Amino acid sequence: MTIKSRTSLAWQLYLLTGFVAGFVCAFVILFHISSINRSVSTRNSAVSMKFEHLQKEFQLKVASVRVLCMVLTCPEYVERFAQHVNATWGKRCSKLVFVSSENYKPLGVVQVVEPEMDSYHDLWNKTREGFRHVWQEYGQDYDWFLKADDDTYVIMENLHHMLSAYDANVPLYFGHQLRIQNVNYMSGGASYVLSREALRRFVEQAYGSHKICPKPDKIGVEDFSMGICLQNVGVHLIDSTRAMTNDDKEKFFPLDIESYLYNSKSALPAWLREMSVSDVNTGPNCCSIYSVAFHYIKPDRMYLFEFFLYRLRVFGRKYVERFPKRWTLSELLEMFPLQNNSKKPFMPVKL
């Protein structure tokens, strides 16, 4: 081998090594850059996927909340009121059942008490019988049971939203919480909601016992009586102001919503502040943006609500939804302990 060919071989080796080293460097750099890009883009898409997933999961959760609405009515009010509940908010219930003292098939009105027993004073019996009927016929098919009157208006989507944080196998009772002496109960006019387990306990343990539950005498105050029964079978009361981790305002209104919005001391009666367990607020910020139920809504105003809530838009306005946190069972029991019912329950004066 000549000197010339040896130098040329070394030269070729240098060239090859340089080439290989350069290639490896370039490859390492390229790989690094691409992996950075990849990890940034996977991180971004992971965030958006997580959000989409959360949103989907939430929609599913809200959609999977099955609510049966039991609306109390009477024969004279089927056409005047009940029919308009059916045409407005009632159509958004998973199941709508009207209970009365006379059947009326076209609207699915079910007779649960005798026709001659349908005055205001019979309201407690009607509510008891209504719940018994609903439990017997539909107890296994629904998670939550709303009791409303035929002059209540309910935003079902907001009810689903609130309930999505809870488990219907826990004995729970939601609404606007009132207290008289040692009895806590949810205002009837504002409507209230029982979990499946609360309704089961009501029907299987309370309904048949006059020690646990007031007799169906001529007691008009169904809501108060219901409170005694439920308190006595270990049902937890959840006032709507404390029901959601992302909102602490009133959601169930026993009185006209206008009286809350109109900021005047005299607009709301003194008993409401005295008996409510939560503070009663007035003025433009009185009430939850996720409000659920309104009392004293006559049919014409049901259609007004429908238009304002489901048709009318404020041009350009977008909403950012906030999701409530789901409690663990131990958090729930700590937040909403059972009421101390060791005293003899206070009974109302017989009317």
Binding site for ligand NAG (CB under 6 A): 83, 86-87, 91, 106-107, 113-114, 117, 122, 125, 129, 216-217, 340, 342-343
Min dist CB 91 to ligand NAG, Å, is 4
What tokens appear for 110 in the block? 């079910």
How far from 220 is each of 9, 147, 214, 215, 226, CA to CA, in Å? 110, 15, 12, 12, 11
CB of 187 to ligand NAG, least distance (A): 23
- Where do we find the tokens 């035929």? 150
Element containing residue 144 per DSSP (H, E): strand 144-149
Cα-to-chain-centroid distance, residue 336: 16
CA distance 337 to 47: 38
Closest CB 188 distance from ligand NAG, rounded Å: 18
> Which residues, 6 or more positions from 254, have their beta carbon under 8 angstroms from its beta carbon?
176, 178, 187, 189, 190, 272, 295
**Shortest approach of ligand NAG to residue 123 CB, angstroms?**
11
In this complex, which beta carbon is closest to ligand NAG, that of residue 129 or of residue 223? Answer: 129
Please say which residue, 5 or 342, places its beta carbon nearer to ligand NAG: 342
Q: Look up tokens 């040692």; give the residue.
A: 182
Residues in contact with 259: Cβ distance below 8 Å, sequence separation at least 6, in sequence order: 267, 268, 282
- Least distance (Å) between residue 86 CB and ligand NAG: 4
